[in-house]
């Protein structure tokens, strides 16, 4: 550390976020990347066309009010456009929430196997992350309520959750919102909401409309296939969105991101196709691995959490997959050392995973 120039307290306690690898050192053949829950079918062709069109005027700053994108989001999801806020990925919305609502002495609650950016953004804001245990890899509302105090300012849950893939139902989410201390805001992270089996699943809209202590975050990085452009959004009560907009940089979403997001959200066929293929291959992959003795929890997302007998076995299988040109995600940092998180790829990718794991298990018998 430097003698006089020092980061704010808590900053050096942040564990670096390690993202899914995208390249395999020395790889000869094509690499199948199943480590970051991206859409294997890519974005809508209309989104690609919109990026190319946006390239005609790259010298111009983007619309700082995000009017067209907020309008499209509101139209498709039946929301009030004035209460939509867009960010450079939903990561940025998470960061805004922590910046605005949590500071030194405040607590930010997240779950045991919750998304890593919650504690990172909490610490970056000077606040203290507080972890609530889960009920065998499922969000536990009672456990969350029992760790809340009068210092709790934010409670983050992802539903479905990453990296477990599990979710809780609307009654449980409502019970959580109702039970929170008065000064706490509930953040429902719906990054994987489109993939939920129940076609009537509501990632938070009804609760946001009914209450004043709930915010929903969503992303274009998963089902919309735009991870490379960094676009996400949030929806909440007016008092929250107004506050978040105070810390938002005027040009936080690029012109290409705005244009692509608008085209992507309007292409409902592409979303429906991606969701259907994901469901088909998610069920297939889970059943095949289960038959090989590798169970996973019922996933409502675009990945499964494959559970091995031991951290060593998970590590060895990860190596075997790498040797076969497949990148998956070790989730040791999520306190799941005996598991591998595998994104649901296309048919070829799923078959590749099963054949490598079957070989691996055959060899290690």
Q: Does 158 bind ligand PMP (CB under 6 A)?
A: yes
Nearer of residues 89 and 261 to ligand PMP, judged by Cβ:
89
CA angle (285 as vertex; 280, 287 as ends), nearest 5: 100
Pick from 96, 101, 115, 195 the residue near ligand PMP by CB under 6 A.
Answer: 115
Q: What is the distance between the alpha carbons of residues 243 and 246, in angstroms, rounded to a whole number?
A: 5
Q: Does 233 bind ligand PMP (CB under 6 A)?
A: no
- Give me 43's structure tokens: 């974005």
Q: Does 38 bind ligand PMP (CB under 6 A)?
A: no
- Give me 105's structure tokens: 């002495």
**Residue 65 CB, nearest distance to ligand PMP (Å)?**
20
Cβ within 8 Å of residue 28, ≥6 positions away: none
Q: Does 227 bind ligand PMP (CB under 6 A)?
A: yes
**Residue 50 CB, nearest distance to ligand PMP (Å)?**
18
**Residue 78 CB, nearest distance to ligand PMP (Å)?**
21
Three-state secondary structure of 281-348: HHHHHHHHHHHCCCCECCCCCCEEEEECCCHHHHHHHHHHHHHCCEECEEEHHHCEEEEEEEECCCHH
**Residue 260 CB, nearest distance to ligand PMP (Å)?**
13
Cβ within 8 Å of residue 352, ≥6 positions away: 32, 324, 325, 326, 345
Q: Does 32 bind ligand PMP (CB under 6 A)?
A: no
Q: Does 162 bind ligand PMP (CB under 6 A)?
A: yes
Cβ within 8 Å of residue 62, ≥6 positions away: 251, 253, 254, 255, 257, 258
Pick from 99, 219, 254, 296 the residue near ligand PMP by CB under 6 A.
Answer: 219
Fill in the per-residue mask, 74 to 93: x = in contact with ligand PMP (CB under 6 A), - = not in contact: ---------------xxx--
Size of the site for ligand PMP (CB under 6 A): 12
**Residue 343 CB, nearest distance to ligand PMP (Å)?**
11
Q: Does 191 bind ligand PMP (CB under 6 A)?
A: yes
Q: Does 121 bind ligand PMP (CB under 6 A)?
A: no
**Residue 365 CB, nearest distance to ligand PMP (Å)?**
35
Start-end of H helices in the chain: 45-54, 67-77, 89-101, 117-124, 141-147, 170-179, 205-210, 238-247, 255-266, 268-291, 311-323, 347-364
Nearer of residues 32 and 111 to ligand PMP, judged by Cβ:
111
Q: Which residues bind ligand PMP (CB under 6 A)?
A: 89-91, 115, 158, 162, 189, 191, 219, 221, 227, 232
């Amino acid at each position: 550390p430097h003698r006089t120039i020092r980061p704010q307290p808590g900053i050096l306690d942040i564990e670096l976020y390690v993202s899914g690898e995208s390249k395999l050192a020395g790889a000869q053949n094509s690499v199948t990347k199943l480590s970051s829950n991206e859409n294997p079918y890519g974005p809508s062709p209309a989104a690609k066309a919109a990026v190319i069109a946006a390239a005609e005027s790259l010298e111009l700053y983007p619309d700082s009010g995000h009017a067209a994108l907020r309008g499209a989001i509101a139209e498709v999801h039946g929301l009030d456009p004035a209460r939509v806020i867009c960010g450079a990925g939903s990561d940025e919305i998470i960061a805004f929430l922590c910046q605005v609502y949590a500071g030194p002495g405040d607590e930010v609650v997240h779950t045991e196997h919750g998304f890593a950016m919650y504690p990172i953004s909490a610490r970056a804001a000077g606040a203290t992350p507080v972890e609530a245990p889960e009920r065998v890899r499922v969000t536990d509302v009672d456990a969350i309520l029992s760790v809340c105090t009068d210092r709790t300012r934010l409670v983050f849950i992802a539903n479905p959750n990453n990296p477990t893939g599990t979710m809780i139902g609307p009654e449980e989410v409502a019970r959580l919102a109702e039970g929170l201390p008065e000064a706490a805001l509930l953040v429902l992270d719906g990054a994987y909401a489109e993939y939920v089996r129940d076609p009537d699943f509501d990632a938070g809209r009804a609760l946001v409309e009914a209450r004043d202590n709930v915010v929903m975050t969503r992303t274009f990085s998963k089902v919309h296939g735009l991870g490379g452009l960094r676009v996400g959004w949030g929806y909440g009560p007016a008092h929250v969105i107004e506050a978040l907009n105070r810390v938002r940089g005027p040009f936080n979403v690029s012109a290409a991101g705005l244009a692509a997001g608008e085209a992507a959200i309007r292409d409902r066929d592409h979303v429906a196709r991606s969701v259907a293929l994901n469901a088909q291959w998610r069920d297939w992959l889970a059943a095949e691995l289960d038959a090989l003795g590798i169970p996973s929890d019922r996933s409502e997302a675009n990945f499964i959490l494959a559970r091995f007998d031991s951290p060593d076995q998970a590590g060895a299988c990860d190596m075997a997959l790498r040797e076969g040109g497949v990148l998956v995600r070790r989730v040791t940092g999520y306190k799941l050392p005996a598991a591998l998180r595998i994104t649901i790829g296309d048919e070829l990718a799923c078959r590749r995973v099963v054949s490598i794991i079957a070989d691996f298990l055959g060899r290690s018998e």
